[in-house]
Homo-oligomer: A and B are copies of this chain.
Amino acid sequence: MRLIQFSACAVLVLAACTQNATKPAPVSAAKAAVLNNVSEVLAQTRPADWREPAPDNLLVMQLATGSVVMELAPQFAPHHADNIRALAHEHYYDGLSILRVQENYVVQWGDPDEKREIKSAQRTIAGEFWRPTTGLNFTPLADGDVYAPEVGYSDGFAAARDPKRGEAWLAHCYGALGVGRGMGADSGGGPELYVVIGHSPRHLDRNITVAGRVLQGMEHLTVLPRGTGALGFYEKPEQYVTIRSLQVASDMPAAQRPQLQVLRTDTASWDAYVDVRRNRRDSWFLDPVGHVELCNVGVPVRTKPG
């Protein structure tokens, strides 16, 4: 009993949100009474509150243990989205390996000796560390941030912006998909990618390209043995974790594509969701703080109903 009760506070992580997603009810969260938790919010969403990522923006990485589904964010990194699609289309990643798993930091994959030929895609392109704020969907989060002047959500991605500079960028939250680079801003491009598996390393924001985020399958990355070499690199090739394939969903037969939906971050249901993340009304909470931080909100993902 105690375990379950303690666990009441745990319903609010993305995995649980997915678990708790139920078929949409006809009533909009906007019209609903005060809601107490994520389950209640999700139960009141309408079909229109959910977005289906375009197959062109979905990456499916097959590991021996299962698949990791990632969504690209071309609105923030259009050239990297194109190049990663091109790399996947020419099967560049297939048979490569996860080379690095650093505790409380990142999982990283690529070609250890960069010998694999790149055909139609490019090995390096200019970094896309930020974009103009103009023309960007952005739902601000009112709670403030340590790293950026303003934070919020753009089409389901945790993001930040600087009104004075007129710049916006994706935040390195847990599950962010990043593009490994060398010393120069133009030394990355997609052949090496990483996913954040620890406390969100926001100091990387604006210093490296974030190309998207993981929607499903984080547990296939986070359980991987930590590398014992410097910075979490595997020390022996036999430790490498093989990537069976990494495909763009649009290159897959329709029947095999992931059927996922992401809660829209520009709806009344989103506002209701953020409200229950900020104001914990479940009776387990004795002294709810009334604030929530960008990377601790989580954007719900569910399997397409029906």
Contact = CB atoms under 8 A, between A and B. Distances in A.
A103 B174 CA distance: 11
Contacts of A183: 5, 283-284
Contacts of A258: none
For the complex, would chain A's binding face be called helix, strand, loop or mixed by DSSP majority? Answer: loop
A165 to B, nearest CB: 11
A203 B296 contact: yes
Contact of A222 (B13, B103, B230): B103
A110 B108 CA distance: 34
A302 to B, nearest CB: 16
A218 B197 CA distance: 13
- Copies of the polypeptide in the assembly: 2
Interface residues of A, number: 81
Given A192-B3, A198-B174, A231-B10, A289 B206 contact: yes
Interface in A139-159: 143-147
Interface string A23-60: 00000000000000000000000000000000000000
A207 interface: yes
Given A181-B5, A201-B296, A104 B291 contact: no
**4 tightest CB-CB pairs across the interface, nearest first?**
A7-B231, A5-B182, A2-B182, A174-B199
